[in-house]
Amino acid sequence: MKSQARVVIIGGGVAGTSALYHLAQRGWTDCMLLEMDELTSGSTWHAAGNIPTFSSSRNIIKLQHYSTQLYARLCDDPLYPINYHQTGSIRLAQTRQRMEEFRHVSAMANTLGLEYEILDTAEMKARHPFLQDHELLGALWDPVDGDIDPSQLTQALAAHARKAGASIHRFTRVTGISRMANGEWKIATDKGDVIAEYVVNAGGYRGAEVARLGGRFLPLVTMEHQYLVTESIPELEATEGLLPLVRDPDDSYYLRQEKTGLILGPYEMKATARWKDGGIPEKFAYELYPDDLDRLEWYIEKACERMPILGSVGVQRVINGPIPYTPDGAPYIGPAFGLPNFFHVTGFSFGICQGGGAGKSIAEWIIDGKPEWDLWNLDPRRYTDYADQDYVVDRAIELYQHEYAINYPVEERPAGRPRKVSPCYDRLQAKGARFGARGGWERATWFAREQDTAEESPSYQHGVWFDAVGQECRNVRDNVGLLDLSGFSRFELKGEGASDWLNTMIAGRLPGIGRVGLSYFCAESGGVWSEMTVTRLAAEHYWLISAAAAKWHDSQWLTDHLPAQGGITVSDISDEHGTLVVAGPRSRDVLQTLTDTDLSNEAFRWLTCQPLELAGIQVQALRVNYVGELGWELHVPAARQLALYDALMEAGSAHDMQDFGMYAMESMRLEKSYRAWKVDLDHEYSPLRSGLDRFVDLNKTSFIGKESLLQEAAAGLPDVFATFVLDKADVAGDDAERINATDALYGCPVHRGDELVGYITSGGFGHRIGQSLALGYIRPELAVPGTAVEINVLGHRRSATVVAESPYDPDNKALRDQGR
């Protein structure tokens, strides 16, 4: 075994071998894979091997579709035979909501080159004659779904990587990982040490164990997943070819043909986590857990009702094996926080269908500094220090129980909460606040009124919160509202040279002393990497404020780019302060009663900051907000936040001040066309395409991404950001009310006639203007106010119109306090 390699990959399942394969295909052949046992001996060998492309995420669809295309190419090589069956699949719908999900995902997927179909029950039975159609409303057809032999796939990836020059060492256990003084990594094994520039954790259910060797905690737990294989079924023996794979998400199981028998794999409510304390037996290769069919009994009965031939034979064998779960069930693909040149590609609960795309993406992270697709929802840094082992166990169990649940636009699941709360949490809860977790922080989403007695139930349609949120928005518009927005990621930048350095990091101009500016940090490709509010406190002293969820992502971007020498420091001060937002035309009236400082327009201008004393409490006040009204963000030491909240509420009682929550803020930011990071903005889109030209100064000497932006500006933009207003749907019958109570969703296609011309990134109802709104991207020649388009919402084309940016108060008169 060599003592040095450019990249060392730890773990020899499908993810590890795919990473090795893709690095080698890119010409990085000085790469080594270390596997403690035999290839595939973790979760890969016992995986059912299903290959769906279905997802509620555009980029996960792309990732999984890439896997199917790669696997088809690998199968063309006769030297490495792979049993790969593209049988197509049928997803069953027993509810109207499920059919709505299918229509939404089908419309989104088909814009990406897939050919999904919505089937009625007759079409379903024509493709699968053994299915019963009781209680079914329809189905979704995915023509490229199917199954593959996981072991053959892994061996083929490994063989191609070896052929290209990469090396694989089986039965080589990693015992330690340490960073050397020169920045390289030393990987200690039972066969000797290896020095590497990069480390990739592909440890599967041992991924957290590998991370611990490197000195970091990774939120990961192992779940049991059982599936059973039947004896041979006479009807299948007599059937030519293979039947389509079947998924019944409402009864939570998959069912597919395996030779002349069937495989049944449920995701049961009695979900079972193993090794919950993180300790895994030293030896568990090619091993399974004892069978436990009792907890599958209900699912077996439901599957037999759906396909009676399943119950006509006995069970040949039961597979009950370990699969890793993250808190949200999505894998980790990307950089490890706090470990330079250390990457994760682990935690896959659907590793076979995602393995090909995952290997491609992690190779791009290493070689290019980012993947082709923005995979923030798979980035390991999406979980920060709040996600401990108890959290991941609670969340993984909940997720496993809801594996086939619909991904609604609004749903606040309770497991693992609360983790982080502001000092105002109990006060808000006593006032009827309903909460949701944002970056681990509990934030009030809406405030239930006395008449709001119905239980919250997730839906595509407006929820029980809709009217209350509307009242919150209108009160902010007409009077004044107070929002606890604690949890911001907050970094303090200071030191000689801080301004010059920051000027090379952001695309726009630095704010002056005492001023506040919205700034965009670009990747070298020109895409939007981070969005931060830059507050300049002194010549070389700044606060950089970003989303709660961005804490580790943005911290790493800043520290990775700090000069090696010099006195510039970046400190994470996120937990030292809370934030209260006072917004509305009467906000100045409330604040002025608590301070002697002049808060007039002349004394405290828009987009400026000042230290204030409010009710005897020192705060840093920023005259900015995310709702588009006169208002201030008040950044207050956490220990004094509750006292400030109470003082504001007391002073506000004379001005009709009311609390408002995150759902109201979301509604109001849509009315202002304010983009949301990793929703409307990501690294695939530059500030120019995102309509943020006013935040870009291409005349600056240099900044990260400038050359790419200059090239893009010269070449022309393929699409640009736009705001849409949706008309009421022209639909008859009982569907009309449901459709008109549904706003545009992420991923909805935008059409003009028969042409696909764009897609939606976010949507909702603007309560201040009384209209359904959407934000998204469209071809430049159509991004003109008045352009008529159609937006596919849950399978129905809704007429919509492109409107000028900021349909509410387009001249920012409210923000500037210049009337309306």
To 5 degrees, how large is the angle CA 656–CA 657–CA 658? 115
Separation CA 804–CA 36 (nearest Å): 59
Give the three-class secondary structure for 571.
strand
In the predicted structure, residue 211 carries a pLDDT above the cut 70? yes
Separation CA 228–CA 317 (nearest Å): 6
Specify the length of the chain in residues.
820
Query: H-type helices in 170-232, by residue range?
Result: 207-213
Separation CA 10–CA 12 (nearest Å): 7
Contact residues for 560 (Cβ-Cβ < 8 A; gap 6+): 340
**Mean per-residue pLDDT, 327-348:** 98
Residue-wise DSSP of 235-296 = HHHTSSS-PPEEEETTTTEEEEEETTEEEEEE--SS--EESTTS---S--TT--PPP-GGGG
Task: Provide the percentage of residues in the chain whose pLDDT is more than 90.
Answer: 96
According to DSSP, the residues that pair with 771 across neighbouring strands are 766
- Per-residue model confidence (pLDDT) at position 820: 64
User: Strand pairing of 480-484 and 441-447?
Assistant: unpaired
**Mean per-residue pLDDT, 603-609:** 97
pLDDT digits (tens, 9 = 90+) for 403-450: 999 999 999 999 999 999 999 999 999 999 999 999 999 999 999 999
CB atoms within 10 A of CB 504: 14
The verdict on pTM exceeding 0.85 is yes
Separation CA 350–CA 246 (nearest Å): 16
Please, what is the average pLDDT of the chain?
Answer: 97
**Mean per-residue pLDDT, 49-68:** 98
Distances (CA, A) of 545 to 198, 280, 718: 31, 39, 31
pLDDT digits (tens, 9 = 90+) for 540-552: 999 999 999 999 9
Identify residue 494 by its one-letter amino acid code.
K
pLDDT digits (tens, 9 = 90+) for 240-267: 999 999 999 999 999 999 999 999 999 9
- Per-residue model confidence (pLDDT) at position 733: 72
**Mean per-residue pLDDT, 311-335:** 97
Residue-wise DSSP of 496-525 = TTHHHHHHHHBSSPPPPTTBEEEEEEE-TT
Pull the structure tokens for residue 600.
């007039």
Give the three-class secondary structure for 316.
strand
Separation CA 739–CA 27 (nearest Å): 51
- Per-residue model confidence (pLDDT) at position 455: 87
| Residue 155 host element (H or E) | helix 150-164
Separation CA 278–CA 572 (nearest Å): 29
To 5 degrees, how large is the angle CA 545–CA 550–CA 553? 110
pLDDT band for position 718 (cuts 50, 70, 90): very high
Burial (Cβ within 10 Å: 0-12, 13-18, ≥19) of residue 186: middle
Separation CA 71–CA 343 (nearest Å): 24
Separation CA 243–CA 262 (nearest Å): 10
Burial (Cβ within 10 Å: 0-12, 13-18, ≥19) of residue 143: middle
pLDDT digits (tens, 9 = 90+) for 149-175: 999 999 999 999 999 999 999 999 999
pLDDT digits (tens, 9 = 90+) for 367-405: 999 999 999 999 999 999 999 999 999 999 999 999 999
According to DSSP, the residues that pair with 310 across neighbouring strands are none
Work out the angle between the directed axes of helices 150-164 and 14-25 (0-180°, nearest 10). 30
**Mean per-residue pLDDT, 49-58:** 97
In the predicted structure, residue 728 carries a pLDDT above the cut 90? no
- Per-residue model confidence (pLDDT) at position 757: 98
- Per-residue model confidence (pLDDT) at position 87: 98
Phi then psi for 732, rounded to 5 degrees?
Answer: -95, 165
- Per-residue model confidence (pLDDT) at position 127: 97
Separation CA 635–CA 612 (nearest Å): 10
User: Strand pairing of 167-169 and 31-34?
Assistant: parallel
pLDDT digits (tens, 9 = 90+) for 175-210: 999 999 999 999 999 999 999 999 999 999 999 999
According to DSSP, the residues that pair with 522 across neighbouring strands are 528
Work out the angle between the directed axes of helices 351-368 and 14-25 (0-180°, nearest 10). 40
CA 610 to chain centroid, in Å, comes to 35
Distances (CA, A) of 218 to 36, 44, 179, 326, 416: 20, 20, 18, 9, 16
Give the three-class secondary structure for 420.
strand
Identify residue 303 by its one-letter amino acid code.
A
**Mean per-residue pLDDT, 572-587:** 98
- Per-residue model confidence (pLDDT) at position 766: 98
**Mean per-residue pLDDT, 670-674:** 98
| Residue 123 host element (H or E) | helix 121-127
